Structure 1
Amino acid sequence: MPESSDWYPTCDRAALAARSAFYRTVRSFFDQRDVLEVDTPIISRVPVSDPNIEPMQTTDHRWLNTSPEYPMKRLLCAGSGDIWQMCKVFRRGEAGQRHNPEFTMIEWYRLDWSLVRLMDEVRDLVREVFASRWSELPEVRISYSQALQQYVGIDVHSASDAEVADVGIQAAGHDLQLSRDGWLDIIMSHLVEPALPEQTLVFISDFPASQAALAKVSQNEAGHSVARRFELFFNGTELANGYDELTDADEQRRRFVKEANGRPIDEALLAAIEQGLPECSGVAMGADRLLMHLTGAERISDVLSFDWNKA
């Protein structure tokens, strides 16, 4: 590396070549399945409503997308059919070993697909991407409640808020004054994720209904309300987040209003859903984290040409 290295890339040429090959693999995967690649704006008039995600605002009061979800759903409502996209997204404050405020996301939607079928496709894509390093990766599929029972020893449906908080405080090492869902996130990241089997694709589904975001809510076999969504974990990291997408515009508006916290609501998306969002399942996947596992990188900067500090 040159003595004055501020201008120098954060990854080497091998990582650049790995990314190039990765992009070819992903595009070939969707081409073979006749899923239409689309391109939507990076800057939007309104931000995401998710209170757990901090968007970036431009000087002319527009917002850098944290995900292409909202414009892609408008395309679905307009009759696009199955679509996918690979694009840059932005989230304020997310910088570290596995985070960069600017990162690459793969997102796609399948009409009339169940979550089970979508998980099958996610598994197939990840196995294809990882084929040069692992010939075949086993998979495990468990519910959120099973994961907490197995790895933490608590019943998420019967545990009180205080009991959840006690476990979360022990995991974090101190009290953070969080909500129930905040503590559940701590429990998941500090206790469940590190305990999951390695070299295995682990799908966790049926999250608490309070964490539904833009997913449908239904009753599980025990009669508990659960969010129809899943997350994929591999070797201690979350790789993908999938939903059985909510198609009820009134319910979507209620959730937006509840979560907006002063942010403007995406009326264009709501108008599109009112016209009719087709039954579909969708998933977002972090491309850079996939590349980290594929190349054996320790830090996300090792697979980025220029990370946040050098961009």
Structure 2
Amino acid sequence: MNLTALQQRASLNQQVRVFFAERAVLEVETPALSQAGNTDPFIDSFSVNTPQGLRYLHTSPEYPMKRLLAAGSGDIYQLCKVWRRDESGTRHNPEFTMLEWYRLGFSWQQLMQEVADLLHLLIPHLQQLPHFRSYREVFLETLQIDPHVADVAELSVVARERGIVINGEMSVQAWRDLLLTHCVEPQLPTDRLTFIYHYPASQSALATVQMHQGQAVAERFEVYLGALELGNGYQEQTDAARNRLLLTQDAQTRGNDIPVDERFLAALEQGLPECAGVAVGIDRILMCRMQVNDLKQVIAFPWEVA
């Protein structure tokens, strides 16, 4: 047991609650188990057999929180445990703590600034102002290539020049992801936050998509400290038909092994207010706050001994 980590986590949670109370953002609770899991092809849910049937541990409180927004809750936040079938390592624990919040009438740019304000409060040794860079800019600055227009051949050449050799075929998006994680993220500054925004439209998830400099881009952002990703935010897609299409396509990509959340989609048909939302990983923020490099140093009971 690391008593300092327990104390720091308690202090951090208190600061989070004061931060949102001062902004009149309501704390809510939603179920950890639901009848529908996450259909995102890149996120796997844990399932649980119950007397009432199969249930899924939530990978994020996004869907029920949006149901509350559609029902008129106003601005809300939640501090909760979530579960993802990820590998266990220095930056991953299958059970972790997430802070997610939604702001009505906010743009994604306003939300980025609020995220920066909160993270500077929670990680007090951060003194430098954040960097704000588009997805295109970080690729041009680091790799001298425009990821929105480069094809597979061009991206693979850039990878090979940096010693990355892949056997077999990969999609354009897979090459972008590889270059981002192996080449761009390691070059991000360690003394300040970096916000990367305007991801390719193919990575929009449930964010809105707009044209920018001749390219369709997702109105979403990710925030990093060094190469460590801390959070992911969207200008939320409010079109019910678009949301249904995205979830259905994701389910089909997965092989329809996870049911689409029809209660979530029904709530959206009643009308999701214009809003921006973000989720940040509290355990990783606590790592940064304590200036340690392993999640096991900030979690009382890591996965292996839980």
Distance (whole Å) between structure 2 residues aligned to residue 211 and residue 249 of structure 1: 19
Where in structure 2 are the equivalents of 1:132-171 lying within 5 Å?
133-134=125-126, 136-168=127-159
Which of 184, 204, 213 is residue 212 of structure 1 equivalent to? 204
Which of 25, 44, 65 is residue 35 of structure 1 equivalent to? 25
Partner SS state of residue 259, structure 2: coil
The answer to whether the 8 Å contact 2:187/2:226 transfers is: no
The answer to whether the 8 Å contact 1:73/1:269 transfers is: yes
How far off is 1:50 after superposition?
Answer: 1.0
Partner of 1:266: 261
The answer to whether the 8 Å contact 1:243/1:281 transfers is: yes
Distance (whole Å) between structure 1 residues aligned to residue 91 and residue 21 of structure 2: 29
The answer to whether the 8 Å contact 1:127/1:137 transfers is: no
Where in structure 2 are the equivalents of 1:102-181 lying within 5 Å?
102-131=95-124, 133-134=125-126, 136-168=127-159, 172-175=164-167, 177-181=169-173
Partner SS state of residue 303, structure 2: coil
Partner SS state of residue 264, structure 1: coil
How far off is 1:65 after superposition?
Answer: 0.5
Which of 190, 202, 211 is residue 194 of structure 2 equivalent to? 202
How far off is 1:162 after superposition?
Answer: 2.7
For residues 262-308 of structure 1, give each alpha carbon's deviation from its aligned partner in whole angstroms, at most 9, with x where no partner exists.
Answer: 12111111111111000000000000000001111121010000000
The answer to whether the 8 Å contact 2:152/2:175 transfers is: no
For residues 131-183 of structure 1, give each alpha carbon's deviation from its aligned partner in whole angstroms, at most 9, with x where no partner exists.
Answer: 2x34x332111110111111111111221123224444656443364332222
Cα RMSD over matched residues? Answer: 1.3
Partner SS state of residue 285, structure 1: strand
For residues 35-84 of structure 1, give each alpha carbon's deviation from its aligned partner in whole angstroms, at most 9, with x where no partner exists.
Answer: 00000001111111211111111123210100000000000000000000
Partner of 1:18: 8
Partner of 1:307: 302
The 1:140/1:176 distance shift into structure 2, 3 A limit, reads farther
Instruction: Name segments (4+ residues, structure 1) moved above 6 Å.
Output: none
Partner of 2:185: 193
Q: Which moved more, 1:30-39 or 1:249-258?
A: 249-258
Partner SS state of residue 62, structure 1: strand
Partner of 2:275: 280
The amino acid that maps onto 1:218 is Q
Which of 13, 16, 35 is residue 45 of structure 1 equivalent to? 35
Partner SS state of residue 174, structure 1: coil
Partner of 2:225: 234
Distance (whole Å) between structure 1 residues aligned to residue 97 and residue 135 of structure 2: 27
The 1:23/1:271 distance shift into structure 2, 3 A limit, reads same
Percent identity of paired positions between Structure 1 and Structure 2: 46
The answer to whether the 8 Å contact 1:229/1:241 transfers is: yes
For residues 94-147 of structure 1, give each alpha carbon's deviation from its aligned partner in whole angstroms, at most 9, with x where no partner exists.
Answer: 31110000000000000010111101100000011112x34x332111110111
Matching of residue 252 in structure 1 with residue 248 in structure 2: no
Aligned residues: 298
How far off is 1:223 after superposition?
Answer: 1.8
Distance (whole Å) between structure 1 residues aligned to residue 5 and residue 260 of structure 2: 39
How far off is 1:257 after superposition?
Answer: 1.4
TM value normalised by structure 1: 0.93
The 1:80/1:67 distance shift into structure 2, 3 A limit, reads same
How far off is 1:197 after superposition?
Answer: 1.7
Q: Which blocks of at least 5 consecutive residues in structure 1 are unaligned?
A: 1-8
The answer to whether the 8 Å contact 1:115/1:281 transfers is: yes
Where in structure 2 are the equivalents of 1:43-122 lying within 5 Å?
43-60=33-50, 61-122=54-115
Partner of 1:4: none
Distance (whole Å) between structure 1 residues aligned to residue 296 and residue 168 of structure 2: 29
